[in-house]
Amino acid sequence: MSFNNTSDWLDYDKNHLWHPYTSMTDPLPSYPVESAQGVRIKLTDGRELIDGMSSWWAAIHGYNHPVLNAAVKQQLQSMSHVMFGGLTHLPAVTLAKKLIDLTAEPLQHVFLADSGSVAVEVAIKMTIQYWYAQGKKDKQKLLTVRGGYHGDTLGGMSVCDPVNGMHTLFQGVLPKHFFAPQPECNENGSTNIESLEKQLQSHQSEIAAVIIEPIVQGAGGMRIYCPQYLQQLRLICDKYEVLLILDEIATGFARTGSLFAYEQADIVPDILCVGKALTGGYMTLAATMTTAKVVQGISADGAGILMHGPTFMANPLACQVANASIDLLLASSWKRIIKEIEAQLDNELSTCQEYPVVKEVRVKGAIGVVELHESVDMKRMQADFVEQGVWIRPFNKLVYIMPPYIINKSDLSQLTSSIHHVLKRLTLNAN
C-alpha cells in the first residue's frame, strides 16, 4: 500500500497510529516531517522549525550529523544486529569501556538496555536481587521523592510521582513504594532531607534502595535542587545500608553543565542509569551501571544471574553510534558551550517572570523552564509555537526548552523570543 500525498498518510496516521500521551478518539495534531538537519526540523509543507527539545533531550548534536551518519553506515557493512546471549561484539565492549572511563571509578559493570525506562527496570531488579541473594527477602520496596519521573514501564511508573504524575490511573496495579517530599534547599545549604530520613528509619527493613534524579527532576516537573541534598542523601543511604540509584537518563552527557549531574555533589551512586543523549538521538539505547559491591551482592547466593535480557540488548548499530556520539561530545568544548547556553537562557528567559501568568523561571545548564500558574492549552500553544517557526512542546504547566548543544545564539534567541511572544498572547487572553 502506498499513499498518494501527505494528506492521505496524515489521515491514516490520525486514524491508526497512537502517539505519546494522546487519545485515538480525540488526538492532538501531529505535524508531518520531511527531514531534519542541524537544529532544524523541515515539515512537508516547506516550513522549518528550530528544535528546542532535542527530540526529548536526546539529539544533543542536532540532526543528520555526518560523523554519526558515518558510524551507522560503517557498522551496517558488518552487522546490524546479533543476539547478545552467548555472543558479544566490539561496539558493545568499546561502549562499556567508554562509559566506565567517563563515570566514577567504582562504577565498573554495565548492562546495556533498550531504553531509559528499561534501564530503570533493570536497576530496580538489581536492588531486589541484591538483597534477596543475601537472605533479606523483605527488602523489595523503594524510597523516592515526589515530583520524580522514571519512565513508563510498570517498575518505572511505580516510582513516579503518585499524585501529580502521569500514571495515577495505574495506582491500583503498581507496586507500592515510599515517597518523601520534593527536595528543597535554602540559600545556606540546608535541606528538607529529614523527612526522607524518617521514612528510611521507619521502613529500613523493607527498603532496598533510594532512587532519585540528581540536580534536576525531569518530566515530573522540571525542578532544580542543590547538590547538598544529594550529599546528605548519600550519607543517609550509607547510614541505613540501602543502595542509591541515580537516574541520569535526562541529565547525563553534559545537560546540566557537568558530564553527569552527580559530579556536582561529588558523590558516587551504587547504580547509575543513563540514556537519551547516549546515542545522540539516533537510536534507542540506555545503560544501567553498577559497582562491584552490587555485582558481588547479587551473586552472594551462588547464582548471580540478573533476571533481564532484552531481544535487542547491545544492538551493534546503537552501540556504534553511541561510541561516535560520546567521542563527538568529548572532542567539543562542551563545558564552554553549556555555560554559554545557560547564560543566554538566563538572560533571555528571566524577564518572563514579569508576565502575570508565570509562576517561576528556572535555568540550569542547557535547560530553560518557565512554569505557569495554570496548565497550558497544549493544542493551541503548540500551534502558536509552530507559527513562530520553532518546535517547543509544553506540558502541564511547563513551557521549557532543552536545545541541541550545536545551536547558535541567533537560533536560541528565536526560541526564547517565541516563548515571550506566546506568553504575551496568553497574558492578553487571560485579561
Q: Which residues are catalytic?
A: 21, 149, 247, 276
Answer whether 312's CB lies under 8 Å from 288's CB: no
Rounded Cα distance between 270 and 278, Å, is 20
241 grid coordinates: 545500608
SS3 call for 277: helix
Residue type, 242: V
Which residue is associated with the grid cell 515517597?
179
Q: Angle at CA 135, nearest 5°, toward 207 and 177?
A: 20
Rounded Cα distance between 335 and 252, Å, is 13
In 33-105, where does DSSP find H-type helix? 54-57, 66-76, 90-102
Q: Angle at CA 53, nearest 5°, toward 51 and 54?
A: 80
Rounded Cα distance between 242 and 200, Å, is 9
User: Length of the chain, please?
Assistant: 431
Question: Are β-strands 358-364 and 367-372 bridged in parallel, bridged antiparallel, or unpaired?
Answer: antiparallel
Within 10 angstroms of residue 206's Cβ, the number of other Cβ atoms is 16
Return phi, psi of residue 97, to 5°. Answer: -65, -40
Rounded Cα distance between 105 and 122, Å, is 21
Task: Write the DSSP string, 151-175.
Answer: -SSHHHHHTS-TTTSS-GGGTTTSP
SS3 call for 320: helix
Rounded Cα distance between 293 and 303, Å, is 15
